[in-house]
Structure 1
């Protein structure tokens, strides 16, 4: 059966074939503006797909554009949603619908990878941090602007501050480096604080998984961090396996 996985975020559309009903194949990232997502999908995807599994946290117009493009080539589309419980994983939110499906699926994948407690950090439009213990109990998390979003907002409010450029350093001697250091440093500090709190709560060091388009800037300054570009897709593959068996 030809099956594909789709992770539609606010900044990227990532997709990969589902292999043997459980494994994530080679992932690709596509442009995902409403006006060109269909053309990008037509260029990179097979003409026909038997089933598509979609996880989306994007705004409604973009989600509809992706669904329309999928409907033109898919026999079936299955949309993942956050569940209060998925196997051993139990979500902390009283209303699971409020937890983004990308965070939910990343927790599912991280728990399977870690075989122990894990801190899961997603770096996209937002910076999200979630803690899960060794038994699969989600202990909650944080949401903050990502370093990229911080730069964009600063530039929008003060156009003289460049939107990108610069390099991280502890004490910068020019504006571009100061912006990169401040915005990336804020993200690094939040993850480090969360690690300290997780260690104190659990009594042991959790594995640290970092994913998302802006993850590399943080990983470079977080000792023992493991970058997993396909973490959400891995969780979606696990969700797809259960959905198919149901």
Structure 2
């Protein structure tokens, strides 16, 4: 039976077949095109899928497009939801629905990876920070604009400020470099501050895990970080396994 995993984010769709070892296989991806899914993304899928497991933080309309496309391939579709406790992770939020499923899945993957205490940082449209202690308890987190979103917001308000480009420098000598340095630097400072506070909270320096489309750009400024760009898909595989066996 073929099982496929789908991570539908705010700007990209990622998907992979679940291997017999319970680990996602080769990951493919597609950006959202003009408010919808890229029509070419289906070419990466087989004509028939037995089961599809979907995690979505995108709009309900866009998620419906994905679900319809999977149903057309005969898939039995399950949509992942955040739970108070699952597979060794217990979240801090009183209302699970208010904790993004992408953040929850990333914590499941971090816990499964045996990182001990871990600080999981997602860099997508938003920048998210979540702290997990050695016993798998989520101790809370932060949400901020990602560097990409900061640049886009500045460009919308001040058109002459480019929405991308530039090279990070501690003290830049042109505007594009200053924008890159300021927006990336703000994200790095938030992560470093969070890591300091996390170390005090859990009594040890937690593993720092970076994931998401913007993670690679920040990693050079956070040399202690482990780059794990597909952490959400890995967590989705854990979610599927745990819910299939009725674990909690």
Shorter-normalised TM range: over 0.9
Q: Give the equivalent residue in structure 1 for 2:61.
A: 61
Q: Give the equivalent residue in structure 2 for 1:205.
A: 205
- Asked if residue 51 in structure 1 is aligned to residue 55 in structure 2, the reply is no
> For the Cα contact (< 8 Å) 1:57–1:101, is it kept in 2?
yes
Taking the aligned partners of 1:38 and 1:168, their CA distance within structure 2 comes to 32
Superposition TM-score, scaled by structure 2 size? 0.96
Q: Give the equivalent residue in structure 2 for 1:172.
A: 172
> For the Cα contact (< 8 Å) 2:30–2:38, is it kept in 1?
no
Taking the aligned partners of 2:193 and 2:38, their CA distance within structure 1 comes to 41
Q: Give the equivalent residue in structure 2 for 1:87.
A: 87
- Cα shift at 1:189: 0.3
- Asked if residue 239 in structure 1 is aligned to residue 239 in structure 2, the reply is yes
- Asked if residue 113 in structure 1 is aligned to residue 113 in structure 2, the reply is yes
Taking the aligned partners of 2:44 and 2:158, their CA distance within structure 1 comes to 39
- In structure 2, do the counterparts of structure 1 residues 105 and 237 end up closer, same or farther at CA, with 3 Å as the change threshold? same
Q: Which runs of 5+ in 1 are unaligned?
A: none
Once the two structures are superposed, residues 68-101 of structure 1 have per-residue CA deviations (whole angstroms, 9 ceiling, x without a partner) of: 1111113300000000000220000011110000
CA RMSD of aligned residues (A): 1.3
Taking the aligned partners of 2:198 and 2:67, their CA distance within structure 1 comes to 38
Taking the aligned partners of 2:121 and 2:179, their CA distance within structure 1 comes to 22
Q: Give the equivalent residue in structure 2 for 1:135.
A: 135
Taking the aligned partners of 2:75 and 2:157, their CA distance within structure 1 comes to 46
Number of residue pairs matched by the alignment: 246
Taking the aligned partners of 1:35 and 1:196, their CA distance within structure 2 comes to 39
Q: Which runs of 5+ in 2 are unaligned?
A: none
- In structure 2, do the counterparts of structure 1 residues 34 and 243 end up closer, same or farther at CA, with 3 Å as the change threshold? farther
Q: Give the equivalent residue in structure 2 for 1:5.
A: 5
- In structure 2, do the counterparts of structure 1 residues 36 and 141 end up closer, same or farther at CA, with 3 Å as the change threshold? closer
- Asked if residue 125 in structure 1 is aligned to residue 125 in structure 2, the reply is yes
Moved more, 12-21 or 204-213: 12-21
Once the two structures are superposed, residues 137-162 of structure 1 have per-residue CA deviations (whole angstroms, 9 ceiling, x without a partner) of: 00000000000000000000000101
- Asked if residue 191 in structure 1 is aligned to residue 163 in structure 2, the reply is no
